[in-house]
Amino acid sequence: MRSLRVLLVDDHALFREGVALLLRRIEPAVEILEAGSLAESRAVLDGGEEPDLVLLDLGLPDATGLEAIGALRARRPGIPLVVLSGNDERAAVLEAIEQGAMGYVTKGSDSAVMLDALKTVLQGGVALPPSAFLRETAASTGAEATSALGLTDRQGEVLQLILQGMAAKQIATTLDISPSTVKAHTSAVLRALNVTTRTEAVVEAGRRGIQIGGAGRRG
């Protein structure tokens, strides 16, 4: 079995070097593919490389952030992509997720936050900074959202764990319920938010200002 392979796309060599060191905390044998521009990243992918994860800086010299996300997703739609950006504004975060990113890490984050985000995405979850769930108007707590959406307490807990980036298996373990029950609750959450995927649910929750925490009573 080959080691983890990551395509790191950032125009600052020193930043790439720092991220590479962090990645080796997850997997000492990680293989780093580097690119300093969108054009270079395209060349890497067109050359036949198959990374397990793409880390993308939104400040590339030859592309806007959204253009870069779209271009890389078009070439490898099945590979999870995590955005690295100095912009932590809620609108920017949600826009990146809408374009297909599975995670968003601000460059001001400490190493533990970045590592947790990457682990979450590699396990099939969605990783967003807290700013994605904040808005200027009053935000809904987990319990308030559960009530407003017509969800049961357990469905509200599943929603909260989805917002924390947990994959279905992790949710099942955390709540001590079966994977099939998680699937049923997730379907109810998606219907309540009028979306069809977990990623869309995260985006919609962010738009509504639903905060992480306080999912309601268990049962």
pLDDT the model gives residue 116: 85
pLDDT the model gives residue 211: 66
H or E segment to which residue 24 belongs: helix 13-26
Which residues span the domain enclosing 74?
5-132
**What CATH number has the domain bearing residue 168?**
1.10.10.10
CA 20, CA 77: separation in Å to the nearest integer?
23
Is the residue at 214 inside a domain? no
Task: Please name the residues in contact with 84: beta carbons below 8 A apart, sequence gap of 6 or more.
Answer: 10, 19, 55, 56, 57, 58, 105, 107
Task: Please state whether 214 falls in left (phi above 0), alpha (psi between -120 and 50) or beta.
Answer: left
pTM: 0.71
- Verify that 127 and 156 share a domain, yes or no: no
- Verify that 87 and 43 share a domain, yes or no: yes
Considering 105, 132, 159, which residue would you say is the last residue of a domain? 132
Is the residue at 137 inside a domain? no
Q: How crowded is residue 3: how many other Cβ atoms within 10 Å of its Cβ?
A: 11
Considering 76, 107, 132, which residue would you say is the last residue of a domain? 132
- Verify that 37 and 119 share a domain, yes or no: yes
- Verify that 157 and 122 share a domain, yes or no: no
pLDDT 10s digit of each residue in the chain, 219 long? Answer: 568 899 999 999 999 999 999 888 878 889 999 999 999 999 999 998 899 999 999 889 999 878 899 999 999 988 999 999 988 888 888 889 888 898 999 888 888 888 888 888 888 878 888 666 655 444 455 577 677 889 999 999 999 888 877 888 889 999 999 999 999 999 999 999 999 988 888 888 877 777 665 433 333
pLDDT the model gives residue 123: 81
Is the residue at 219 inside a domain? no
Considering 132, 165, 186, which residue would you say is the last residue of a domain? 132
Closest by CA position to 158, among listed 178, 190, 182: 182
pLDDT the model gives residue 90: 80
CA 132, CA 159: separation in Å to the nearest integer?
15
**CA dist 155 → 97, 123, 128, 172, 175 (Å):** 23, 21, 21, 12, 11
- Verify that 127 and 52 share a domain, yes or no: yes
**What CATH number has the domain bearing residue 44?**
3.40.50.2300
Rg from Cα positions in the chain: 18
Task: Please name the residues in contact with 44: beta carbons below 8 A apart, sequence gap of 6 or more.
Answer: 7, 33, 35
Is the residue at 79 inside a domain? yes
- Verify that 108 and 155 share a domain, yes or no: no
- Verify that 125 and 148 share a domain, yes or no: no
- Verify that 121 and 148 share a domain, yes or no: no
Closest by CA position to 140, among listed 217, 218, 207, 88: 207
- Verify that 78 and 119 share a domain, yes or no: yes
- Residue 68 tokens, joined: 């870069």
Per the structure, the count of domains in the chain is 2
Question: Exposed, middle or buried: residue 138 (CB in 10 Å: 0-12, 13-18, 19+)?
Answer: exposed
